[in-house]
Structure 1
Amino acid sequence: MNVRLATFLSLVVAIAVSLLVSLGSTSLLQIPTFILLGFLLGLLVAETPAASPLQELCGLSSRHPDKVGLDIVHSEGTTDSKTAKADLDQKVFYGLQHAFLNLELTGWWFNMGLWDKGRGMRFQDACKALVRKVTCDLGIDEESHILDVGFGCGDQDVYMAQLYRPAQITGITIEPIQHHVAQELIKRTELPGTCVQLHVADASYLPQFLKETPSVFEELSSKAAPGQSHFTHVVSIDSAYHYNTRASFLQNAAQVLEPNTGRLAMADMILAKPAPTCALGRAIFNAVFGALNVPVVNMKTMEAYKQDLVDAGFVDIEIECIEDRVFSGLANYIQDQTGRLGGMVKPGVQWSFWGLHKGLLWLDRSKWLHFVVVKARNGASHHV
């Protein structure tokens, strides 16, 4: 078993034990069951050669799909394994190439979405609904200059430009590949009246970014206020919990916002229950969030979260918990989508989404995390 698979299995076991600890009412005698389930999940999800014989031994898969295909190709007289694999890929491509004609790629949206209570909502529509929820009632108009921190692949910037037609949207992301994809989207999209600039930068160093990028305020359209040197709005949708750290991001957001009138708006995640204090519980807690690329210091309860906003200089703070329309809605969509795709999805990928589906349902039922929409006004006179 390779290191990658072993690491994954260890993580699954850690998650299983953390569920046990957080649920509290579950008997300690059930720990072996949780660990066994975690091990089986690891075997199902692992898309590696080392996992394949274990899958067969445990009866989790009759034969790995690639092995079945290779057996078929071998029976036709091909003996070289690389050639056989290439032949198999060609056969699969030919058999399913019409799928390309049925795919409707309407964007590269990547947030958890705000879902209707009933099923049937499209992923892109749920993502747009979350953007509307975060940005409504902020006073965005044709003179606004929005800083979008963590813009994903640019779809939300296009959508905000179409909704509000602000003078300018400046976006930053720490992911170069997302920046590239978003740039291509902006190039082929007409956004009359809105200038969109996208940059690769760190959310925790906003003042430094502005000093190093003076063009941010030099290319404003004629609708913007002359001589503007601060943003009217800072938006962060479903990404602030990844920042290292979120508290420093809030401090810097206040510095780059217009004093007294600038508005902050975020979709974010925080703890609904205090973090474990015992050594084992804390170790598991740290391991889980570390694996999710979420700095543990960002996982705070509502009271500590509000205090970070106050310490940064924000006033008129509004925090709304909306997890009842986030976690279960995304979980149901994942289940429906994998069902629609059927056999076109590799078993490893399908089981990965199965695990995500179950994890989201558990979050919805356990009430362990809050998914919040935050709106606040900059009340301090900061200067970059």
Structure 2
Amino acid sequence: MPLPSLSSFFLGFVAGCLTILLLLAIAAVSLTRSGDIYGLGHWKLNIRTPFPSMWMNLGYWTRDDGTAIQHFDEAARNMLRQLLQAAGILSDSSSASSSPSVAVLDVGFGCGDQTVALAEIINASRRPQFRYVGLTLNATQLQEAQQRLDAALSHSTQDPPSSSSSSSTTSLNLPKASAFQLYQADAAQPTSWPPAVLSSVTSLADASFSERWLMGLDCLYHFSPSRKPIFTLAARTLHANVMAFDLILSDSASFWQTLAVRILGFVLLCPWRTFLTEREYREQLVECGYDREQVEIRDVSDHVFGGLASHLRKQDAVLRPYGISLTAYALVGRVYEWFDRTRVLKGVVVVGRVSHCGLS
């Protein structure tokens, strides 16, 4: 090797070593200054991804036997189950003949846990037909939800099929992937939907589905300008019943409490008059096409606000030693404590039915 080349190689080797040493020194100083090397900072190395769940709703914090739920994912799934139970579409039977065909338009489906859990809980794979269309505004959540759904379907197909399963279903109570369609679209404004989304949604009106449902799980109070467009489309175009968890304004709320709630909603990007009283909410459903005699609004506040506020306090205390701040969520927890104490807002399960749904 010529002398200049050898010299260049040596200089490059030394520079590389010095760069590595410098980076290690910076990392060491950073760790020792923060105390992470002998503290708890290495928690980041123990995280397993993807996360086992990414649920997001206020949760229903009481089990059927009356015991309190301690974990967020269980409470959130339990909220979905309460909604499906109120709608009457839980399936306790393994017989396909006793389970009607179901079509669901799910607005605000989150990161996919809700989609998979719904199909599992209602035993969708054993129904004669099942179709699910989900809409979300958030592109990141759509991507996460599609990945979770694909993973769940893939896991199902890897299991050996039971002798009673048909070739059109998987073995974990999940239908084939073609039964699910997820889109990014503003569910509050159907006139803004691209043709593909509109076509997919209106396909749910197929008379072969004896049960058709619009589901809004802890999201409808964000709908702008109001819930009316999606309620009207569901009732008059899809002939679909509605099941929702929503927040309603107390009839006894004072002027100042109402103002505080409206300002809070405005800060959280909700329409100014999104929180309606029970009477106003019922009238809106009737105006949009639901049968007045078949609208049920059940107050479940006892099982929602206190449990969530308590969980946020405990989670903040547990995570603080690891350098994880839940300050924003802790502040939200104070708001739910106020709701729990004053009931200026109430958490409700809503079920509305259209006349002769399924016979059109």
Query: TM (normalized to structure 1)?
Result: 0.66
Residue aligning to 1:326 = 304
Q: Tell me if 1:246 matches 2:224.
A: no
Among 82, 107, 121, the alignment partner of 1:163 is 121
Identity of aligned residues (%): 25
Aligned partner of residue 213 in structure 1, secondary structure: helix
Residue aligning to 1:202 = 186
Residue aligning to 2:103 = 145
CA distance in 2, matches of 1:139, 1:257: 19
Deviation, 1:248, is 2.6
Among 281, 285, 306, the alignment partner of 2:282 is 306
Deviation, 1:189, is 1.2
Can you give the 5+ residue segments of structure 1 that lack an aligned partner in the other structure?
Answer: 1-82
Q: CA 1:189/1:142 → structure 2, altered by over 3 Å: closer, same or farther?
A: farther
Q: Which amino acid aligns with 1:366?
A: T
Q: Tell me if 1:179 matches 2:163.
A: no
Residue aligning to 1:236 = 216
Q: Tell me if 1:111 matches 2:57.
A: yes
Residue aligning to 1:126 = 75
Q: Tell me if 1:188 matches 2:151.
A: yes
Q: CA 1:219/1:188 → structure 2, altered by over 3 Å: closer, same or farther?
A: farther
Q: CA 1:135/1:340 → structure 2, altered by over 3 Å: closer, same or farther?
A: same
Q: CA 1:297/1:218 → structure 2, altered by over 3 Å: closer, same or farther?
A: closer
Deviation, 1:137, is 5.2
CA distance in 2, matches of 1:210, 1:352: 36
Deviation, 1:87, is 5.2
CA distance in 2, matches of 1:147, 1:319: 20
Residue aligning to 1:88 = 30
Q: Which moved more, 1:298-307 or 1:266-275?
A: 266-275
Can you give the 5+ residue segments of structure 2 that lack an aligned partner in the other structure?
Answer: 1-24, 90-98, 157-169
Aligned partner of residue 87 in structure 2, secondary structure: coil
CA distance in 1, matches of 2:102, 2:136: 20
Residue aligning to 2:21 = none
CA distance in 2, matches of 1:376, 1:118: 29
CA distance in 2, matches of 1:276, 1:226: 46
Deviations 1:2-30 (A, max 9, x none): xxxxxxxxxxxxxxxxxxxxxxxxxxxxx
Q: Which amino acid aligns with 1:376?
A: G
Residue aligning to 1:264 = 242
In 2, are the aligned partners of 1:174 and 1:201 still within 8 Å (CA)?
A: yes
In 2, are the aligned partners of 1:151 and 1:172 still within 8 Å (CA)?
A: yes
Q: CA 1:288/1:137 → structure 2, altered by over 3 Å: closer, same or farther?
A: closer
RMSD between aligned alpha carbons? 3.4
Query: TM (normalized to structure 2)?
Result: 0.70
Residue aligning to 1:378 = 354
